[in-house]
């Protein structure tokens, strides 16, 4: 009988523990415990007192269903890596109203770096300084650049290498970071020229920025 009672107690404790592993923290500091689901920009907490919380009211979550824990409701500025969707010298400026759960991948005194992928596994980076209430998207867009358009209009003038098309980047994230780090004279121009939309590159320039007084 004692063995049966002990096993029942262990199973009950394990069940309670698994339910309390997940929680949601609201902007006002309130914490709700229970299984968390996100649907139509609303977080549903399945606990002894089920609750539905608007995404704008949520600061952080801890859930096995999400890699990150920082909640951001934003107009995500989209880009595409699908070459068939790109036009020459034209940037599609689309956005979508969405909720993201960001993973903080670099924390420093002056600026933090976040990472997330959307449903199509497209990567996005965000930053946050102490003066920012929420993380801000680092923007990048791709477009085609070259002479194919002119080649179609004037075959005699544009031939060979001059008719080639290449993939180009609209590096909005560089201008964003330069504006933030404008007072840091330790960052050389070569670092800005080589800055790429990759975590190692972004971390490198953030580290240099933190070395400034």
pLDDT for position 189: 94
pLDDT for position 14: 45
1-66 topology per CATH: SH3 type barrels. (2.30.30)
| pLDDT tens series, the chain, 213 aa | 555 544 544 444 444 444 568 999 999 999 999 999 999 999 999 887 888 999 999 999 999 889 899 999 999 988 876 777 777 766 777 788 999 999 999 999 999 999 999 877 889 999 999 999 999 999 998 877 776 555 455 555 555 565 667 777 889 999 999 999 999 999 999 999 999 999 999 999 999 999 998
- Domain regions of the chain by residue span: 1-66, 74-213
Q: What are the DSSP calls for the chain, one per residue?
A: -HHHHHHHHHHHHHHHHHHHT-EEEETTS-EEESEEEEETTEEEEESSS-EEEEGGGEEEEE-TT-S--EEEEEEEEP----GGG-BBTB----EEEEEEEEEEEE--SS-EEEEEE-TT--EEEEEE-TT-SS-EEEP-EEEEEESHHHHHH-TTTS-GGGG-EEEEEE-HHHHHHHHHTTT-TTS-HHHHHH--SSHHHHHHHHHHHHT--
């Amino acid at each position: 009988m004692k063995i049966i009672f002990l096993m029942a107690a262990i199973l009950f404790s394990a069940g309670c523990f698994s339910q309390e592993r997940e929680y949601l923290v609201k902007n006002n500091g309130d914490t709700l415990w229970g299984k968390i689901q996100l649907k139509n920009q609303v977080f549903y907490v399945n606990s002894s007192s089920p609750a539905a919380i608007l995404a704008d009211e949520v600061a952080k979550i801890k859930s096995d269903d999400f890699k990150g824990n920082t909640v951001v409701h934003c107009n995500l500025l989209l880009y595409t890596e699908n070459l068939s969707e790109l036009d020459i010298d034209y940037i599609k400026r689309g956005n979508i109203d969405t909720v993201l759960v960001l993973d903080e991948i670099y924390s420093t005194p002056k600026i933090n770096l976040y990472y997330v992928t959307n449903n199509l596994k497209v990567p996005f980076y965000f930053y946050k300084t102490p003066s920012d209430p929420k993380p801000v998207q680092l923007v990048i867009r791709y477009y085609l650049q070259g002479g194919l358009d002119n080649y179609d209009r004037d075959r005699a003038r544009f031939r060979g290498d001059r008719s080639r098309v290449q993939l180009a980047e609209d590096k909005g994230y560089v201008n964003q970071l330069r504006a933030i780090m404008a007072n840091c004279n330790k960052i050389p121009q070569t670092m800005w020229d080589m800055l790429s939309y990759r975590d190692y590159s972004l971390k490198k320039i953030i580290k240099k920025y933190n070395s400034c007084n």
